[in-house]
Amino acid sequence: MNAFCYVDSPIGRLMLTTDGTALTGLYMNLYRNKPTKLPTLSDDWVQNATIDPLPAAARQLKEYFAGKRREFNLPLRMHGTEIERPLAIVMTGGLVTSTIFILLVLPTIYPWFTKRAIRQGGQYAQ
């Protein structure tokens, strides 16, 4: 059975979908008049916020937006073709890697480069 529910958030209304055992989608409308691709809701879909794991997902999202949560622990099921799944893994890996680089590596090496530029007569201020 496929179920969905809506959750209000600071970034707009979110639609959560499940197959009854795992979260299968999170859809948002970030741009006015340009909604993201929503699932095709047929007769086997039911709007019910009490079917697992929708209550836990809604609670964890509310905690996240309140600043009380940084990690999610929900069962996920990724759907897609043979090309889409590896592509999603590569894109996720790239996002994680670039985030780590920007937040950890770049601030660590930035002072080294500025000191080097100052020693070589650069115009950087300390």
Last residue of a domain, one of 30, 65, 100: 65
Sign of CA dihedral 44, 45, 49, 51: positive
Q: Would residue 75 count as lying in a domain?
A: no
Residues 87 and 37 reside in one and the same domain? no
**Lowest pLDDT segment from 68-72, 76-80, 114-118:** 114-118
Structural domain boundaries enclosing 44: 2-65
Q: What is the CATH number of the domain that holds 58?
A: 3.30.160
pLDDT at res. 116: 67
Q: Would residue 74 count as lying in a domain?
A: no
Last residue of a domain, one of 40, 65, 90: 65
**Lowest pLDDT segment from 6-10, 34-38, 51-55:** 34-38
Q: Would residue 90 count as lying in a domain?
A: yes
Cis omega before residue 53 (within 30°)? Answer: yes
**What percentage of the chain reaches a pLDDT higher than 70?**
79
Number of domains in the chain: 2
Residues 60 and 85 reside in one and the same domain? no
Residues 25 and 56 reside in one and the same domain? yes
Q: Would residue 52 count as lying in a domain?
A: yes
Global pTM reads 0.57
Residues 115 and 86 reside in one and the same domain? yes
Residues 99 and 59 reside in one and the same domain? no
Residues 88 and 61 reside in one and the same domain? no
Cα 74 to Cα 6: distance, rounded to the nearest angstrom: 17
Residue 72 pLDDT grade (very low, low, confident, very high; cuts 50, 70, 90)? confident
Rounded mean pLDDT, 68-82: 82
Cα 8 to Cα 66: distance, rounded to the nearest angstrom: 13
pLDDT at res. 58: 92
pLDDT digits (tens, 9 = 90+) for 83-112: 777 777 788 888 888 888 888 888 888 887
Cα 103 to Cα 115: distance, rounded to the nearest angstrom: 20
Q: Which residues does residue 16 pair with via DSSP β-bridges, in sequence order?
A: 5, 26
Q: Would residue 92 count as lying in a domain?
A: yes
**What percentage of the chain reaches a pLDDT higher than 90?**
10
